[in-house]
Amino acid sequence: MTSVLQLPAELWLQVFSFLSWRDKLSVRSTCSHFKQLLDKSRPLWRGFSVTLTNFSRYNRPFWRSLAQRHVGRVSLRSGKRKQLKELHTWLPALEALRLDDWREGGVDELKLFCQLKCLSVTSCFTPLKSLDFLFPLRHQLTQLSLCNLQLTCVTSHLLAVVSQLTRLTSLVLHHDGSLRVPTLSGVLNHLSELTHLSCTMVTYKTLSHDFFSSAHPTGGAPLKLSDLQLLNYDAVVTAEVLQPLSNLHSLSVFHLYSVPGPTCHLRTWLTSLQQLRSLSVHGGHPLAAYADFLPSSLLSLVLCVDLQPEDLQVVSLRVPHLEHLHLEPWSSSSNLVRLLPQLFPHLRTLRIRHQHVSDADLLSLQQLQRLHTLEVLDSFYRPDPSDPSWVIYGPSPRLQQLTSDLQNQTNHRVRVITSSHSDPLSCDCV
């Protein structure tokens, strides 16, 4: 320990900067010297999130440690108003807050957080009487997520309140189909800075011509919207409806039905948005129904659909410069992985499942000379075939060996991820 104390603090802080959040917390608990170094170094905790559940467990030293680290992102589960007041006492400069299963009918205490920019309210089974608590935040919020809420207010009130948040750059509106919105043009025309929109569209059968913008196509500035996510999508759409989305670069479609209808409406989106750089499709029609319509501008593609090897051949011809691929077909991917080095030689990141992929096919990914990140989506195994209920969530010995072999064969150019962590402040719908 004496030698540890002799090393300059700057050196230790440099070492700590390479650690994950979990490793930093582990190192912090080893000795008082490291605890003090870590807690007083604000840059080491930039972007760190903490989840709070039972406030009775938290003592003053705990709160003091969060305050010293200047924690700016908090997820509060099953919270109440008095807990928001305590949270403000210790972390008044909070910038991001998620309220998960909020237990009261209002959240007026949010006005205490003068620097709050990102707010997520999700999975609240206690009905919220109104959204008036958002008004005091209308000049500071840049990101708002409302997901799986029970609202006693009418839809028009919700849209009127959201329209007042003129600084929003990101808006998430997820619901169970009870929210009936004939058009989003009123909201979008007020939110001139909005670039990301994620919304549920389960109730729409045909989108009106002014669904996204009431402005005439030849007049007024186009929407800044560049990223659009559509959940439970089943809507009929025309090229006229999509004209205001000229700046859209990323489209994600989560279809409502596993059995598609007679018409593939995704074709209209793809032919109208020839500038797309990122496309994510979950469910709906088989890939063969729209593969020939993929815009050549695509650099990123997520396919969680029914597809065949010949469909990927079509994709490779349509998007020859693809750099990022998430391949999760409804059928087995055992005969698909082996095709990737020849079809998509420019891949930089790849996300796949490995359970039914042969060792040789997985190791063949070393041929992707530009690949730097491989994420394995099914990092679990059953150690006892006779007991299918016994599942270990982590890389199996086989996967560990394959990972080591692939990294050695690529001179550690490829980083293999076997466990990914989502942002605790985001909703779980996508």
Per residue in 237-261, pLDDT (tens digit) is 899 999 999 899 999 999 887 667 7
Do 346 and 321 form a contact (C-beta atoms < 8 A)?
A: yes
pTM: 0.89
Comparing 392 with 215, the larger pLDDT belongs to 392
What is the chain's length?
430
DSSP line for 155-187: HHHHHHHHHT-TT-SEEEEE-SS----S-SHHH
Q: What is the pLDDT of residues 42-81, one digit of tens each?
A: 787 788 889 999 898 999 989 998 998 889 999 999 999 9
Domain ranges of the chain: 1-46, 52-168, 354-424
User: Degrees (nearest 5) of the Cα angle 390, 392, 395?
Assistant: 145
**Separation between Cα atoms, residue 410 and residue 391, nearest integer Å:** 31
Structure tokens at 20: 């994950």
User: pLDDT tier at 20 (50, 70, 90 boundaries)?
Assistant: confident
Tell the CATH topology of 1-46: Monooxygenase (1.20.1280)
Residues 397-423: b if buried by 16+ CB within 10 A, e if exposed: eebeebbeebbeebeeebebebeeeee
